[in-house]
Amino acid sequence: MNNRVSSKTVVDLDFDKQHIWHPYTSMTAPIPCYPVTSADGCLIQLQSGEQLVDGMSSWWASLFGYNVPALNQAATKQLGKMSHIMFGGLTHQPAVDLAKTLVEITPDGLNKVFFSDSGSVAVEVAIKMALQYWQSLGYAKPKFVALKKGYHGDTFAAMSVTDPDGSMHELYQDFVAKNYFTKQPTIAFDQEWNDSEMYELTKLLEEKHNQIAALILEPIVQGAGGMHFYHPNYLKAVRKLCDQYNVLLIADEIATGFGRTGKLFACEHAQISPDILCLGKAITGGYMSFAATLTTKKVANTISQGKAGVFMHGPTFMGNPLACAVANANLAMLFNSDWKLLVETIALQLQQQLTPCNKLKAVNKVRVLGAIGVVELHQAVDLASIQKQFVDAGVWIRPFGKLIYIMPPYIIKQSQLTKLCDAIFQVCEELSK
């Protein structure tokens, strides 16, 4: 491992524990936090000396692992020019190049690009676009439809379209906008399709479409809501229903974009194009927070010809040139690699090495799609305990609820992926005793 951080680096864990609030963590009874001094490739270097094989791609963002020379070079080169410049009234080539690429690679018709600084904000932007679109046409359509067990981010509009029952945002349901929720798709990705799956959503749209600005969903893979893989025909049917009932379709591909499911975008499994598309996470290869919301000429022009005459949103770090430059380098790496083969190879190994977990008593079901492997348990895990078991096994895997899952970097070695899968089997075996 090429450790470019001094071995003398020491993370002050006491200060961290007393003063730094980590995500989804108690300040009075925090779970252990493992200090990292560097990372390279698929390996995370802990302060204590252990190296962990990364199974999470830093919450699904690091396509090519850590300390990537091409991305380091892109960042360094851009730093020599400008790290940031306001996007209001100014533009720059990294943003132009990135927008060109996104228009070219995303589903047909998505040719207007709005940059922002995180996935949650990309969803906020999409929701505001849908509302302002109908407002510009003179319609009052204040509601949205979302899927149960869906997740779209932690900001307020994003929380309003995240499942309100038993979700991580249940505490805020009295304060967010009230929207409609339809049942989670029940037919799995590889099961036989039945049109009855669409009955509840069809009825809802038939009765309420005059109030509904858009339907928002995570195409094919419901991520943080349960790592559920549903049938592509559901997505096809949703597109038809939205067209039939004059409702916009928002596809949240923040977790699924850039090849993770085996297609460049999960919408491609159903060969459909949404009216609005949200991208984030892997867009910069995990180097920095950045996102994009794409829409059609029709939506953009309608908003631009409405009462305001402009789209009413403008993040301070919108179009950040440093992030755009790294994103351009990251996407160039993606397309210069045989990413499809990389993902297919990971999928095959995950299928072979995680499937044996099905025979264990603690395991409910194993499922794999692209470079995503999921072991669903019968009972929720104790995070602190299971996290320590994985660290002791030399891997970084962060389960949630009943789910132990991995989404490794595309460059992971076969031996490293085997280490991840073996660790999952051993932990599940221990849970089965």
Tell me what pLDDT residue 173 has.
Answer: 85
Helix (H), strand (E) at residue 390: helix 383-392
pLDDT of 1 strictly over 90: no
Residue 143: both structure tokens together: 């509601």
Band of pLDDT at residue 167, cut at 50, 70 and 90: low
Over pLDDT 90: what percentage of the chain? 94
Among 66, 117, 133, 151, the one annotated catalytic? 151
The whole-number average pLDDT for the span 202-220 is 98
Supply the mean pLDDT for the chain.
95
From the list 252, 287, 405, 419, the catalytic residue is: 252
Cα gap 59→280, rounded to integer Å: 11
Which residues face 251 on adjacent strands? 217, 277
For residue 84, the one-letter residue type is: H
User: Which helix H or strand E contains 295, and what residues bound it?
Assistant: strand 291-295
- Is residue 6's pLDDT more than 70? no
199 is an active site residue: no
In whole angstroms, give the CA distance from residue 196 to residue 193. Answer: 9
Strands (DSSP E) found in 354-396: 363-369, 372-377, 395-396
Q: Is 17 a catalytic residue?
A: no
Give residue-wise pLDDT tens across range 31-42. 999 999 999 999
3-class SS at 168? coil
Is the pLDDT reported for residue 271 higher than 70?
yes
| pTM, full prediction | 0.96
User: Which entry of 281, 405, 410, 419 is annotated as an active-site residue?
Assistant: 281
Dist CA 323 CA 31 (whole Å): 32
Look at residue 2 in the predicted model and tell me its pLDDT. 46
pLDDT tens-digit series, residues 169-182: 778 888 999 999 99
For 27-57, letters b (16+ CB in 10 Å) and e give eeeeeeebebbbbbbbbbbbeeeebbbbbbb
Return d(Cα 373, Cα 353) in angstroms, integer. 10
Using CA atoms, how far apart are residues 110 and 334, in angstroms rounded to an integer? 20
Which residue in this structure is represented by tokens 């990251």? 330
CA nearest to 203, candidates 150, 160, 245: 245
Q: How much is the average pLDDT of 26-32?
A: 93
User: What is the mean pLDDT of the segment spanning 227-243?
Assistant: 98
Q: Tokens 């009052």 label which residue?
A: 140
Which tokens hold the place of 323?
A: 């992030």
Q: Residue 168 above 60 pLDDT?
A: yes
- Give CA–CA dist 421/399, Å, rounded: 14
User: Confidence class of residue 8 from pLDDT cuts 50, 70 and 90?
Assistant: low
Q: Give, in words, the CATH class of 13-67+338-431.
A: alpha beta
Task: Please list the helix, strand and coil fractions of the chain in percent, rounded to the nearest 5, in that order.
Answer: 40, 15, 45
Instruction: Please state, in angstroms and rounded to a whole number, the distance separating the CA atoms of residues 376 and 362.
Output: 9
The per-residue pLDDT for 165 is: 82
For CATH 3.40.640.10, the residue range(s) in the chain are 73-336
SS3 370: coil
In tens, the pLDDT along 90-120 reads 999 999 999 999 999 999 999 999 999 999 9
Based on the residue annotation, tell me whether 66 is a catalytic residue of this protein: no
Residue with tokens 């790290």: 83
3-state secondary structure of 299: helix
Task: From 47, 114, 45, select the one nearest 290 (Cα to Cα).
Answer: 114
User: Would the pLDDT of 382 be above 70?
Assistant: yes
Structural contact between residues 131 and 213, judged by C-beta atoms closer than 8 angstroms:
yes
Q: Using a pLDDT cut of 70, give the percent of the chain over it.
A: 98
Closest CA relative to residue 394, chosen from 48, 22, 114 = 48
Whether 252 sits among the annotated catalytic residues: the reply is yes
CATH 3.90.1150.10 in the chain: give the residue spans: 13-67+338-431
Q: Is the pLDDT of residue 4 over 50?
A: no
CATH assignment, 73-336:
3.40.640.10
**Catalytic, out of 12, 17, 24, 361:** 24
